[in-house]
């Protein structure tokens, strides 16, 4: 069936509208995630632990790395880093730990979300051992020390000398996490 | 649809209520859109009156903060989606077929549908105010997580009503595009179309491109609330900032959707009352097209403070500043049209001149806002409120008034009470400036937007703004009176009541017969 | 009559021209107290004056036409309707002006973004509806709440000059030091804004943002939350108290001593009256925004405490403490573990159990709270007493 010019216009316009709706879910969201990953836009670090590349330690620079712990609303765990900052050379492994305790009488699952400031440093802060992006169950009154090992990349832009790694702890007990990127 | 599909020519409208429910006539539907939009304008306006009454003096006196937030949210939503957009669709329905020599809109039944969705959508939206927990209270921009994890239960209905409005707008836009591209009279080439038709064509494309994005945003909000997704919940791997990107990807083109048709109206009126052709028609078309294009790459200027990397910040700042160029071209063209003309100042012209001046002031504050470092001080203050009311009230709304006063004789066959209409203009002009000009000052001095109470240093200007607001609000009842009076009767209007008017709409008699251009006119 | 009018006119013009009046009415952006805020102010003023000049030219031509090219003056319309040259000119000139604006703007922006090498780092967390300040490495952390008495916003008492812009505990910082603000949110998005410092940064849950200021002169600088964050968005002000370095250090010591003092108070034996008095203060400061001064709340979001089982039933004392410590998931009730020390918590619980006709007569002591924190159960006398009674 041949379409009249008017109908062609209508079909094209409708298809555009539908395509734009799909665009939001299948282009904008994944694109945003990719962009964040590449640029460190929202300070989200790579979820996959970094496999250490043996590299020379750059002793000419000393980088201050600070650690923050925040509880999101409704999360009652005690949550704090073992130290508020460490000074390391790029390429050197820095280790510390985060302490968590579930003070309540219920089993819970927590999720710590990392964020780095300034953003440009995100891609240069590697974690060889970390607890981010994994759901962390803690039984009632259970406590845990979660180790964290980090390496600051030798390529960290010269103008950055201090960076901050922040973890926000969310209560995800009973939440069925569907990762948005995989939708 | 073939050109001769309408075989029952020249019969009048059906009688009674069913005429309006079942009508497929572009003029009927246009009128319904206009009346609906005016009703919403009064409703949204009365919410603004509540806001201004609460802010009349420091202290909490009339409403509680939670209700205040619902008022600001609903005022925004109703004015954007209920008042301004339907008014332009109504004008498009009435004028586009007549301007391009078409017998009706290309899709008359869909036209009926796209109108009749609106009353239901807005009934639903307004009904949320009476639900437990109240209506939407997260601002018209509904930033997550305030609109997801922390939202009142009525948010589900808010989402549904936004979906309905979106469907209505998209159908309206498809109709406009189909009409303009396919139903032009022979000889009416694209570059001969009146600018109102041009601006609407571009607006319709913007609508088709971004209303689905809004639909996507509200769908994600709905899914986050009810279906366990975490698009905007950081705890589940999402990102609240993503919401703002999606929203403003819709939101910035949206603000041009509300202003481009206004450009078209002003470009019709200024030449008429200057008795001189529009200066730079071609550059006007290109300016509108480039504004529309730029609107897609500037969205993050609404988010300068969320923490965007420096490169992004710089890019969005430059792109935003660039908008000043085509907008400037438009303003210069209007001024050049008036220059060395033979000017008279009938009511449509008064509104148009006010449009040019006040919209330009809004443009200036827009330029200031585009400067990212300065925006750190302006962002989310009353300076922003002043800015966007300067571009929307004397921009969109004054242009709608101008258009109504310009075409009302064509619609009703009567001339309206010109003296009263000038009173309406001056009261609106003074009221509007009294309301919004002081907001620049309080904003710069440090008053954030969306607060129900404020420090004493902002008291004087807020009182002035409230007085102006009440004046502006009350004046609009006069407009209602003028229009009703004109519909009921008045001096007979000629086919072309304005001396300098050109265009096909002035060829048909006044009032325009129920069916016009059933045989297409020849355009030379 | 004429003279009178002239007198008034002079008076009005005089008033308008008087900088004192404008200062009082605060019509412009504050210049601020940092180098950066000065650059931003200058940028703002430069662009403002550029737009004024453009405005005068454009509106000048327009009003020239309005006055001299009107039909009633016999003006005949010309026919011209395009000129490529003119159009190119007025596309190019704005472009050049824009470049002129972009250069200083970009320079300032780069400075704003350079928060590196700060002397002091302060973490700022936005909560509904208060700010939390943590001084990194100093062991000092506290919440900052609106301190304007409720009677002032209900117009029962005259408003003071800092109405809605005053807090119980300001953020104290030293002058002449680069201070880096690490901003985040714990629930919805807030925005930390102090105009005098030209700092506005969104506090986003799950993400950390940074900004900085180096304050040049001591003083108290006030700001407000700039992002709609719910009901009390207008009631979470920010107060920055900038002091010379030595005073700042003294203040830090004082803060640490306070913690010590609270520890002592926890061990003290409290009487009902002492707890009630302190409890009322704490309640009005932190609880009454939602549960209201009269304890009747704003159902359904904010339930009443007056007559509520949790506040009157003896076997729910434990639950009462638990809720206050850890909040209720999925509701507006947040955890107060960080914000309230044992003494305040005991006081407010005692208050809630005895105010507004909730006359339970029960006294919860700071030691009870401490015990609860350690054992996750209420070990006080009333639970036992109750068991004995039954």
Per the annotation, the verdict on B52 as an active-site residue is no
**From B343, B356, B456, residue closest to C70, measured CB to CB:** B343
Per the annotation, the verdict on B301 as an active-site residue is yes
Q: Is residue A91 part of a domain?
A: yes
Q: Please report residues of B whose CB lies closer than 8 A to that of C82.
A: 279-283
Residue A152 contacts residue A65 (beta carbons within 8 Å) = yes
Instruction: With cut-offs at 50, 70 and 90, classify the pLDDT of residue A40.
Output: low
Residue C217 contacts residue A173 (beta carbons within 8 Å) = no
Q: Is residue A125 part of a domain?
A: yes
Separation CA A7–CA B158 (nearest Å):
33
**From C47, C164, C210, residue closest to B454, measured CB to CB:** C164
Token pair in block for residue B234 = 């950081």
Same-domain check for residues A67 and A106: yes
B22 CA: distance to closest CA in chain C (Å): 43
Same-domain check for residues A93 and A137: yes
Separation CA A53–CA C113 (nearest Å):
31
Same-domain check for residues A71 and A148: yes
Token pair in block for residue B468 = 């102006």
* Residue B234 contacts C, CB cutoff 8 Å: yes
The residue range of the domain holding A161 is 63-174
Separation CA B402–CA C204 (nearest Å):
43
pLDDT of A120: 84
Q: Is residue C3 part of a domain?
A: no
Q: How many CA atoms lie within 13 A of C356 on its CB side?
A: 20
C328 CA: distance to closest CA in chain A (Å): 6
Catalytic residue among B114, B154, B168, B365: B168
Phi, psi of B91 (to 5 degrees): -65, -40
Number of domains present in the structure of chain C:
3
pLDDT of B7: 44
* 8 Å CB contact of C326 and A104: yes
Give chain A's contact residues with B (Cβ, < 8 Å): 4-6, 9-10, 13-14, 16-21, 23-25, 28-29, 32, 36, 39-42, 44, 72, 111, 113, 119-120, 133, 168, 170-172, 175-181, 183
**From A4, A24, A36, residue closest to B213, measured CB to CB:** A24
Separation CA C327–CA C317 (nearest Å):
15
* Residue B328 contacts C, CB cutoff 8 Å: yes
Same-domain check for residues A24 and A74: no
Q: Is residue A180 part of a domain?
A: no
Same-domain check for residues A87 and A139: yes
The answer to pTM > 0.95 is no
Token pair in block for residue A144 = 């845990």
B235 CA: distance to closest CA in chain A (Å): 5
Q: Is residue C23 part of a domain?
A: no
* 8 Å CB contact of C109 and B460: no
Per the annotation, the verdict on B414 as an active-site residue is no
Residue B354 contacts residue B430 (beta carbons within 8 Å) = no
Q: Is residue C166 part of a domain?
A: yes
- In the sheet with C209-214, reading across from the earlier edge strand, the strands are C140-144, C130-135, C120-127, C178-185, C209-214
Chain B interface, best mutation among C50, C98, C111, C208, by max B CB count within 10 A: C98
- Dump pLDDT digits (tens) for B469-490: 999 999 999 999 999 999 998 8
Q: What is the DSSP string of C10-27?
A: HHHHHHHH-HHHHHHHT-
The mean per-residue pLDDT over the stretch B289-299 comes to 94
Q: Please report residues of A whose CB lies closer than 8 A to that of B237.
A: 113, 133, 177, 179-181
**From C121, C208, C325, residue closest to A43, measured CB to CB:** C208
Neighbours of B160 (CB within 10 A): 16
Measured in whole angstroms, the distance separating CA B85 from the mean position of its chain's CA atoms is 5
Token pair in block for residue B141 = 């921009």
Same-domain check for residues A16 and A71: no
CA distances from C219 to C32, C34, C131, C173, C241 (A): 11, 12, 20, 10, 6
Complex-level ipTM: 0.91
* 8 Å CB contact of B340 and C69: yes
Q: Is residue C383 part of a domain?
A: yes
Residue C351 contacts residue C280 (beta carbons within 8 Å) = yes
Interface of B with C in 193-212 (CB under 8 A): none
Q: Is residue A46 part of a domain?
A: no
Catalytic residue among B23, B147, B154, B169: B169
First and final C-alpha spacing in chain C: 91
Q: Is residue A85 part of a domain?
A: yes
Catalytic residue among B28, B54, B224, B254: B254
Nearest 10 degrees: CA dihedral of C310, C270, C148, C220? -130
Q: Is residue A45 part of a domain?
A: no
pLDDT of C341: 84
pLDDT of B342: 93
The residue range of the domain holding C322 is 268-389
Looking only at the bridges linking them, the beta strands covering A93-101 and A143-152 are antiparallel
Examine the fold and report which residue of C235, C260, C285 is the final residue of a domain before the chain moves on: C260
Separation CA B145–CA B142 (nearest Å):
9
Residue C207 contacts residue C136 (beta carbons within 8 Å) = no
Of A21-25, B77-81, C151-155, the poorest mean pLDDT is in: C151-155
Containing B389, the helix (H) or strand (E) segment is helix B382-391
Chain C interface, best mutation among A74, A125, A169, by max C CB count within 10 A: A74
Separation CA B201–CA B105 (nearest Å):
13
**From A25, A72, A179, residue closest to B216, measured CB to CB:** A25
The mean per-residue pLDDT over the stretch B62-76 comes to 94
Same-domain check for residues A68 and A24: no
Q: How many CA atoms lie within 13 A of C137 on its CB side?
A: 10
Q: What is the DSSP letter of A75?
A: -
Per the annotation, the verdict on B252 as an active-site residue is yes
Separation CA B309–CA C105 (nearest Å):
16
Is the bond preceding A118 in cis, omega lying within 30 degrees of 0? Answer: yes
Beta-strand ranges (E) seen in chain C are: 120-127, 130-135, 140-144, 171-174, 178-185, 190-194, 199-203, 209-214, 219-225, 237-243
* Residue B286 contacts C, CB cutoff 8 Å: no
Same-domain check for residues A11 and A77: no
Measure the CA angle with vertex B331, ends B325 and B337; round to 5°. 135
Separation CA B328–CA A75 (nearest Å):
53
Same-domain check for residues A68 and A23: no
Looking only at the bridges linking them, the beta strands covering C171-174 and C178-185 are unpaired
Measure the CA angle with vertex C306, ends C300 and C308; round to 5°. 70
Same-domain check for residues A112 and A30: no
Residue with tokens 């330690």: A57
Q: Please report residues of C whose CB lies closer than 8 A to that of B61.
A: 155
Containing A117, the helix (H) or strand (E) segment is strand A108-117
Q: How many CA atoms lie within 13 A of C309 on its CB side?
A: 3
* 8 Å CB contact of C184 and A166: yes
Largest Cα separation within chain A, whole Å, is 74
Token pair in block for residue C180 = 């880096």
Measure the CA angle with vertex C98, ends C95 and C102; round to 5°. 140
Residue A2 has pLDDT above 80, yes or no: no
Token pair in block for residue A1 = 């069936």
Per the annotation, the verdict on B424 as an active-site residue is no
Nearest 10 degrees: CA dihedral of C80, B325, B440, B86? 80
Q: Which residue of B has its CA nearest to C159?
A: B456
Same-domain check for residues C251 and C362: no
pLDDT of C99: 94
Average per-residue pLDDT for chain A? 82
Domain B29-506 of CATH type 3.40.470.10: no
The mean per-residue pLDDT over the stretch A38-59 comes to 68
Q: Is residue C210 part of a domain?
A: yes
Residue with tokens 């010019």: A5
Q: Is residue C312 part of a domain?
A: yes
Q: Is residue C17 part of a domain?
A: no
* Residue B59 contacts C, CB cutoff 8 Å: yes
C344 CA: distance to closest CA in chain B (Å): 28
* 8 Å CB contact of A76 and C326: yes
The mean per-residue pLDDT over the stretch B89-116 comes to 94
* Residue B489 contacts C, CB cutoff 8 Å: no
Separation CA C166–CA C220 (nearest Å):
10
Catalytic residue among B422, B449, B450, B502: B449
A127 CA: distance to closest CA in chain C (Å): 18
The mean per-residue pLDDT over the stretch A32-52 comes to 69
Which CATH number do you get for residue C252? 2.60.40.420
Same-domain check for residues C193 and C64: no
Same-domain check for residues C101 and C134: no
Residue A177 contacts residue B236 (beta carbons within 8 Å) = yes
Q: How many CA atoms lie within 13 A of C289 on its CB side?
A: 22
Token pair in block for residue C197 = 């410092």
Identify which of A11, A10, A8 has the alpha carbon closest to the alpha carbon of residue B176.
Answer: A10
Per the annotation, the verdict on B31 as an active-site residue is no
Examine the fold and report which residue of C218, C238, C260 is the final residue of a domain before the chain moves on: C260
pLDDT by residue, tens only, chain C of 390 residues: 455 666 666 656 655 555 545 545 678 899 999 999 999 999 999 999 999 999 999 999 999 999 999 999 888 888 888 888 999 999 999 999 999 999 999 999 999 998 888 999 999 999 988 999 999 988 899 999 998 888 888 888 888 889 999 998 999 999 999 999 999 999 999 999 999 999 999 999 999 999 999 999 999 999 999 999 999 999 999 999 999 999 999 999 999 888 888 878 878 788 888 888 888 888 988 888 888 888 888 877 788 888 888 888 888 888 888 888 888 776 778 788 878 888 888 888 899 988 888 888 888 888 888 878 777 677 665 544 443 333
Separation CA B83–CA B393 (nearest Å):
11
Residue B121 contacts residue A24 (beta carbons within 8 Å) = no
* 8 Å CB contact of A75 and C335: yes
Same-domain check for residues C149 and C227: yes
Per the annotation, the verdict on B302 as an active-site residue is yes
Neighbours of C304 (CB within 10 A): 16
Same-domain check for residues C229 and C347: no
Q: Is residue A54 part of a domain?
A: no
Which residue blocks in B413-510 are alpha helix, DSSP H? Answer: 418-445, 459-488
Same-domain check for residues C293 and C367: yes
Residue with tokens 């807020």: B462
**From B106, B183, B246, residue closest to A28, measured CB to CB:** B246
**From C59, C164, C187, residue closest to B357, measured CB to CB:** C59
Which CATH number do you get for residue C51? 1.10.287.90
Q: Is residue A9 part of a domain?
A: yes
* 8 Å CB contact of A72 and C206: yes
Instruction: With cut-offs at 50, 70 and 90, classify the pLDDT of residue B206.
Output: very high
Catalytic residue among B116, B198, B256, B382: B256
Residue with tokens 């054992």: C375
Which neighbouring-strand residues pair with A147? A97
Phi, psi of B449 (to 5 degrees): -85, 170
Question: Residues, chain A, total?
Answer: 183
Same-domain check for residues C328 and C364: yes
Q: Is B280 helix (H, G, I), strand (E, B) or coil?
A: coil
Which CATH number do you get for residue A152? 2.60.370.10
**From A13, A175, A177, residue closest to B208, measured CB to CB:** A13
Separation CA A63–CA A88 (nearest Å):
5
Q: Please report residues of A whose CB lies closer than 8 A to that of B209.
A: 16, 20
pLDDT of B9: 47
Examine the fold and report which residue of C63, C92, C114 is the final residue of a domain before the chain moves on: C114
Answer with the residue of higher pLDDT: B133 or B431: B431
Number of domains present in the structure of chain A:
2
A113 CA: distance to closest CA in chain B (Å): 7
The mean per-residue pLDDT over the stretch B11-33 comes to 87
Domain ranges in chain B are 29-506
At a CB cut-off of 8 Å and minimum separation 6, what does B416 contact?
A: B405, B408, B409, B482, B483, B485, B486, B490
Interface of A with C in 114-173 (CB under 8 A): 115-118, 141, 159-162, 164, 166, 168, 170-171, 173
């Amino acid at each position: 069936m041949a379409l009249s010019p008017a109908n062609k216009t209508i079909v094209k316009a409708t298809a555009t509208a539908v395509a734009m709706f799909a665009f939001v879910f299948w282009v904008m969201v994944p694109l945003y995630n990719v962009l964040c990953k590449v640029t460190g836009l929202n300070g989200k670090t790579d979820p996959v632990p970094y496999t250490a590349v043996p590299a020379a330690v750059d002793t000419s620079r000393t980088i201050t790395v600070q650690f923050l712990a925040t509880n999101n609303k409704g999360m009652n765990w005690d949550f704090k880093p073992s130290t508020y900052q460490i000074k390391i050379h790029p390429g050197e492994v820095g280790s510390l730990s985060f302490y968590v305790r579930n003070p309540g009488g219920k089993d819970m699952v927590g999720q710590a979300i990392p964020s780095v400031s300034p953003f440009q440093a995100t891609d240069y802060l590697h974690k060889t051992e970390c607890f981010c992006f994994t759901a962390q169950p803690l039984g009632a009154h259970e406590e845990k020390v979660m180790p964290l090992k980090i390496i600051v990349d030798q390529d960290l832009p010269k103008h950055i000398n201090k960076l901050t790694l922040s973890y926000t702890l969310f209560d995800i007990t009973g939440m069925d996490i569907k990762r948005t990127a995989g939708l | 649809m073939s050109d001769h599909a309408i075989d029952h020519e020249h019969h009048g409208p059906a009688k009674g209520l069913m005429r309006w429910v079942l009508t497929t006539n572009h003029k009927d539907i246009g009128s319904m859109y206009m009346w609906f939009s005016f009703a919403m304008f009064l409703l949204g306006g009365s919410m603004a009156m509540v806001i201004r009454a609460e802010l009349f003096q420091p202290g909490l006196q009339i409403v509680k903060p939670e209700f205040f937030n619902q008022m600001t949210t609903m005022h925004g939503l109703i004015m954007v989606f209920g008042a301004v957009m339907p008014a332009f669709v109504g004008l498009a329905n009435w004028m586009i077929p007549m301007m391009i020599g078409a017998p009706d809109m290309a899709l008359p039944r869909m036209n009926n549908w796209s109108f009749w969705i609106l009353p239901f959508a807005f009934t639903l939206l307004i009904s949320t105010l009476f639900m437990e927990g109240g209506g939407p209270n997260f601002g018209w921009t509904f930033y997550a997580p305030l609109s997801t994890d922390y939202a009142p239960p009525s948010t589900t209905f808010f989402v549904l009503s936004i979906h309905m409005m979106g469907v209505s707008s998209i159908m309206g836009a498809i109709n406009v595009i189909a009409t303009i591209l396919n139903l032009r009279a022979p000889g009416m080439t694209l570059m001969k179309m009146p600018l109102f038709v041009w601006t609407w064509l571009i607006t319709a494309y913007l609508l088709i491109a971004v209303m689905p994005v809004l639909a996507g945003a509200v769908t994600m909000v709905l899914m986050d609330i009810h279906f366990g997704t975490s698009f905007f919940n950081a705890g589940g791997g999402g990102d609240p900032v993503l919401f703002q990107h999606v929203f403003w990807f819709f939101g910035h083109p949206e603000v041009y959707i509300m202003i481009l048709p206004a450009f078209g109206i002003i470009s019709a009126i200024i030449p008429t009352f200057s008795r001189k052709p529009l200066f730079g028609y071609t550059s006007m078309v290109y300016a509108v097209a480039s504004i529309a294009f730029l609107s897609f790459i500037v969205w993050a200027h609404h988010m300068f403070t969320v923490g965007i990397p420096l490169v992004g910040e710089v890019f969005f700042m430059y792109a935003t500043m660039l908008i000043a160029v085509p907008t400037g071209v438009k303003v210069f063209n209007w001024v050049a049209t008036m220059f060395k003309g033979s000017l008279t100042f009938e009511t449509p012209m008064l509104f148009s001149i006010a449009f040019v001046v006040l919209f330009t002031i809004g443009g200036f504050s827009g330029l200031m806002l585009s400067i990212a470092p300065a925006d750190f001080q302006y962002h989310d203050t009353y300076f922003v409120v002043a800015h966007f009311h300067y571009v929307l009230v004397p921009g969109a709304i004054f242009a709608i008034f101008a258009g109504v006063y310009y075409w009302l004789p064509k619609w009703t066959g009567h001339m309206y009470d010109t003296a009263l209409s000038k009173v309406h203009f001056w009261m609106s002009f003074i009221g509007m400036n009294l309301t919004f000009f002081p907001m620049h000052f309080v904003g710069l001095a440090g008053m954030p937007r969306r607060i129900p109470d404020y420090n004493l240093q902002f008291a004087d200007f807020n009182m002035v703004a409230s007085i102006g607001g009440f004046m502006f609000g009350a004046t609009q009842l006069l407009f209602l009176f003028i229009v009703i009076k004109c519909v009921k009767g008045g001096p007979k209007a000629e086919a072309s009541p304005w001396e300098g008017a050109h265009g096909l709409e002035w060829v048909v008699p006044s009032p325009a017969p129920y069916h016009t251009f059933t045989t297409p006119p020849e355009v030379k | 009559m004429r003279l009178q009018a002239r007198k008034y006119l002079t008076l009005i013009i005089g008033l308008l021209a008087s900088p004192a009046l404008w200062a009082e009415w605060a019509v412009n952006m504050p210049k601020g107290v940092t180098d950066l805020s000065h650059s931003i102010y200058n940028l703002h003023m430069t662009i403002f004056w550029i737009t004024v000049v453009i405005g005068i030219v454009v509106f000048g031509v327009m009003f020239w036409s309005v006055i001299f090219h009107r039909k009633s003056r016999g003006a005949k319309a010309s026919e011209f309707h395009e000129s490529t040259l003119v159009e190119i000119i007025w596309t190019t000139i704005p472009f050049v002006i824009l470049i002129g604006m972009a250069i200083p703007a970009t320079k300032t922006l780069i400075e704003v973004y350079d928060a590196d090498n700060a002397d002091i780092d302060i973490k700022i967390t936005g909560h509904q509806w208060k700010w939390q300040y943590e001084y990194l490495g100093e062991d000092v952390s506290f919440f900052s709440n609106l301190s304007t008495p409720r009677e002032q916003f209900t117009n029962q008492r005259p408003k003071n000059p800092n109405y809605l812009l005053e807090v119980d505990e300001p953020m104290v910082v030293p002058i002449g030091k680069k201070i880096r603000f690490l901003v985040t949110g714990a629930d919805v998005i807030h925005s930390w804004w102090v105009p005098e410092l030209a700092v506005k940064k969104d506090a986003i849950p799950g993400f950390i943002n940074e900004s900085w200021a180096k304050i040049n002169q001591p003083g108290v600088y006030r700001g407000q939350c700039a992002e709609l964050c719910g009901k009390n968005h207008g009631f979470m002000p920010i107060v920055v108290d900038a002091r010379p370095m030595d005073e700042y250090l003294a203040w830090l010591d004082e803060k640490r001593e306070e913690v010590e003092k609270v520890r002592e108070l926890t061990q003290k034996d409290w009487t009902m009256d002492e707890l009630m008095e302190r409890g009322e203060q704490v309640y009005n400061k932190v609880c009454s925004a939602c549960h209201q001064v009269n304890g009747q709340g704003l159902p359904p979001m904010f339930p009443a405490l007056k007559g509520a089982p949790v506040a009157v039933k003896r076997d729910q004392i434990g639950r009462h403490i638990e809720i206050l410590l850890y909040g209720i998931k999925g509701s507006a009730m947040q955890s107060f573990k960080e914000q309230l020390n044992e003494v305040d918590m005991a006081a407010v619980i005692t208050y809630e159990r005895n105010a507004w006709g909730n006359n339970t007569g029960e006294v919860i002591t700071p030691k009870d709270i401490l015990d609860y924190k350690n054992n996750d159960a209420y070990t006080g006398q009333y639970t036992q007493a109750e068991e004995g009674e039954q």
